[in-house]
């Protein structure tokens, strides 16, 4: 793995404290080992988690909406910009040096407003019937001088014509009249008579080729007629060929109906547009229309996938959107093995402990890395939360010993902290039915059966009585919308060590069979039940 690649460490959707704290801690562990890791979350944090983060002065991790491949994940071609007042000679030179056929035209702040292609330059350069190609509308005196590497002998930029055709004075001076008009630009050799004749015709500019000497008489006459005189080091043929390359990019660039992509666009979304238009390449900009590069079809072949590490879950229904387009590097979890599939072998650490934080804390210890005080506090809090202060049947000896070691590093008293955390996190005052259901909500697929189980922990099992109707209404909406066979809200009383279950769906009989109880009015109390992972899911699985 390239150490510059970003590795996203994320817990599950509707994250609990274990999910958030484990992601933050493992990202910190990876950083200590030189990995560019970023802790993420897939949803809003709970009150309990907010209390933990605030208590240990740790910032909330960034939200990760999906891990689909974006243009920013690809090695797109760099942009080689030109400005609109650049010459087409400069544009062509840049194309040749960089072996590209399209350049972005930008302003002084690098904002894209046009494109110039090799075919644009070729069409203009090969249009031999167009003689009126030079003039202040299409070029400038500075551009002409620069393109020809010429010297200004007389005149100024203000005298440069707005229009006028380009003429090579190859004939005798007495035969020039039919070919030359006022405001023309005349290319002439070292013949003084031809130079003077051009001035008599009141042309706007004369270009003397071959660095030929220009007499004082010619210069004086040019000054009197406000005619520009330039001296070119090139021969007449080369001068006439080069001068057309002094045209400004603005005259031939494309500005209308540009197809551009944003650097954050998903690759899956741009493929259709590329197939419909079939241009060689497409400009890529950011949200401020600043050019970032060019993308072509061949970039899509070797896309660089986002790298992800999953903690506290290993089921597709619970993970980040677009996971099938990402590269999963590791899974660290304490749940049953789910349905995540990977293209290559990965590091997978699943242990039957009460909290993912227990696993991650011991990864620190086993590798002789001492977690910081704040990280130790987060991990300890996550263990207390997921084991319900070691009262959950999922709790093992390793959880308690790990929590005590972490508490020692941070200097907290486990019992005092647990009481504060439970009091802060169990309050549902001001929460809507939707917020209560989604606080710790997980979807499961067992065979052909699909169901969702939400769990809240409280010190008062009757805390939801006042909004029970709203809760049942929302649960029924979920069951209908998601086609669930069963939706269940488990209200766990931390003091009594039991749970009140609110149930909707056609298969509520699964609960009756699994726990040998009778569901009345969509409600049933389950004494001793505190763990969804250890007590509910295994029992339903065995019935099915």
**Rounded mean pLDDT, 17-43:** 96
Instruction: Using a pLDDT cut of 90, give the percent of the chain over it.
Output: 53
pLDDT of amino acid 133: 56
**Rounded mean pLDDT, 96-115:** 93
Q: Please state which CATH number belongs to domain 7-69+306-425.
A: 3.90.1640.10
pLDDT of amino acid 181: 83
Class assignment of domain 433-543?
alpha beta
Confidence of residue 129 (pLDDT cuts 50, 70, 90): very low
Tokens representing residue 423 in the block: 């009091």
β-pairing, 307-311 vs 7-10, is parallel
Indicate if the pLDDT at residue 62 is higher than 60. Answer: yes
Q: pLDDT tens across 411-465, in order? A: 999 999 998 898 777 767 778 899 889 888 888 888 888 999 998 888 777 778 8
* Backbone dihedral angles phi then psi of residue 242, each to the nearest 5 degrees: -75, -35
In 10 A of CB 528, how many CB atoms? 11
Can you give the pTM of this predicted structure?
A: 0.68
Class assignment of domain 82-123+251-301?
alpha beta
**Rounded mean pLDDT, 318-324:** 92
Indicate if the pLDDT at residue 1 is higher than 60. Answer: no
Residue 77 gets which letter from DSSP? B
User: Where exactly are the structural domains of the chain?
Assistant: 7-69+306-425, 82-123+251-301, 134-246, 433-543
Tokens representing residue 198 in the block: 């051009």
542 vs 472, more confident: 472
Contacts of 154 (CB under 8 A, 6+ apart): 219, 222, 223, 227, 228, 229
pLDDT of amino acid 158: 79
Instruction: Specify whether the CB–CB gap between 11 and 309 falls below 8 A.
Output: no
pLDDT of amino acid 302: 67
Instruction: Specify whether the CB–CB gap between 52 and 357 falls below 8 A.
Output: no
Averaged pLDDT score across all residues of the chain: 89
Q: pLDDT tens across 326-383, in order? A: 999 999 999 888 888 888 889 999 999 999 999 999 999 999 999 999 999 999 999 9
Distance of alpha carbon 391 from alpha carbon 9, whole angstroms:
29
Residue 66 gets which letter from DSSP? B
pLDDT of amino acid 136: 46
Distance of alpha carbon 450 from alpha carbon 408, whole angstroms:
43
Indicate if the pLDDT at residue 131 is higher than 60. Answer: no
**Rounded mean pLDDT, 297-309:** 85
Cα-Cα-Cα-Cα dihedral sign, residues 187, 192, 196, 199 = positive
Instruction: Specify whether the CB–CB gap between 16 and 322 falls below 8 A.
Output: no
Instruction: Using a pLDDT cut of 70, give the percent of the chain over it.
Output: 96
**Angle between the N-to-C axes of helices 373-386 and 397-410, in degrees from 0 to 180, rounded to the nearest 10:** 150
Q: Please state which CATH number belongs to domain 134-246.
A: 3.40.1390.20
Instruction: Specify the DSSP element, H or E, that contains 145.
Output: helix 141-148
**Rounded mean pLDDT, 131-142:** 66
Indicate if the pLDDT at residue 119 is higher than 80. Answer: yes
Q: pLDDT tens across 382-400, in order? A: 999 999 889 888 899 999 9
Two domains, one topology: 7-69+306-425 and 134-246: no
Distance of alpha carbon 424 from alpha carbon 440, whole angstroms:
16
Instruction: Specify whether the CB–CB gap between 449 and 507 falls below 8 A.
Output: yes
pLDDT of amino acid 5: 85
Distance of alpha carbon 344 from alpha carbon 339, whole angstroms:
15
């Amino acid at each position: 793995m390239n150490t510059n690649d970003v590795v996203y460490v994320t817990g599950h959707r509707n994250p609990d404290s274990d999910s958030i704290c484990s992601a933050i801690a493992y990202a910190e562990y990876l950083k200590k080992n030189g990995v560019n890791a970023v802790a993420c979350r897939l949803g809003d944090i709970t009150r309990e988690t907010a209390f933990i983060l605030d208590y240990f002065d740790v910032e909330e991790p960034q939200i990760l909406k999906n891990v689909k491949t974006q243009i920013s994940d690809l090695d797109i071609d760099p942009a080689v910009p030109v400005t609109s007042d650049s010459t087409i000679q400069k544009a062509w030179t840049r194309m040749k040096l960089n072996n590209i056929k399209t350049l972005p035209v930008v302003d002084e702040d690098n904002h894209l407003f046009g494109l110039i292609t090799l075919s644009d330059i070729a069409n203009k350069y090969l249009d031999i019937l167009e003689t009126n190609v030079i003039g202040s509308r299409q070029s400038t005196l500075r551009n002409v001088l620069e393109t020809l590497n010429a010297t200004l002998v007389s005149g100024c930029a203000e005298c440069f014509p707005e229009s006028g055709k380009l003429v090579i004075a190859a004939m005798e001076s007495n035969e020039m009249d039919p070919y030359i008009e006022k405001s023309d630009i005349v290319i002439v050799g070292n013949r003084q008579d031809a130079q003077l004749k051009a001035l008599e015709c009141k042309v706007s500019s004369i270009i003397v080729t071959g660095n030929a000497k220009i007499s004082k008489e010619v210069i004086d006459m040019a000054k009197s007629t406000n005619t520009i005189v330039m001296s070119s080091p090139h021969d007449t043929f080369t001068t006439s060929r080069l001068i057309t390359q002094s045209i400004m990019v603005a005259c031939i660039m494309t500005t209308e109906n540009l197809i551009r992509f944003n650097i954050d666009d998903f690759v899956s979304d741009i493929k259709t547009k590329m197939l419909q238009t079939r241009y060689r390449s497409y400009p890529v900009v950011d949200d401020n229309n600043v050019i970032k590069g060019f993308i072509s079809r061949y970039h899509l072949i070797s896309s660089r996938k986002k790298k992800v590490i999953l903690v506290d879950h290993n089921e597709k229904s619970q993970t980040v959107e677009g996971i099938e387009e990402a590269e999963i590097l590791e899974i660290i979890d304490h749940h049953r093995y789910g349905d995540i599939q990977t293209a290559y072998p990965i590091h997978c650490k699943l242990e039957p402990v009460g909290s993912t934080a227990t696993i991650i804390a011991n990864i620190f210890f086993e590798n002789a890395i001492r977690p910081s005080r704040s990280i130790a506090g987060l991990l300890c809090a996550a263990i207390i939360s997921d084991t319900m202060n070691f009262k959950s049947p999922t709790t093992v000896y390793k959880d308690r010993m790990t929590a005590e070691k972490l508490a020692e590093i941070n200097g907290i008293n486990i019992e005092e902290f647990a009481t504060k955390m439970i009091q802060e996190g169990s309050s549902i005052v001001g929460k809507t039915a939707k917020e209560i259901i989604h606080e710790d909500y997980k979807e499961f697929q067992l065979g052909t059966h699909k169901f969702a189980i939400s769990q809240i922990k409280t010190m008062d099992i009757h805390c939801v009585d006042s909004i029970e109707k709203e809760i049942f209404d929302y649960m029924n909406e979920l069951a209908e919308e998601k086609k669930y066979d069963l939706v269940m809200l488990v209200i766990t009383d931390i003091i009594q060590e039991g749970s009140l279950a609110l149930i909707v769906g056609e298969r509520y009989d699964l609960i009756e069979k699994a726990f040998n109880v009778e569901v009345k009015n969509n409600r049933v109390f389950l004494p001793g039940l505190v763990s969804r992972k250890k007590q509910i899911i295994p029992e339903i699985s065995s019935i099915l």
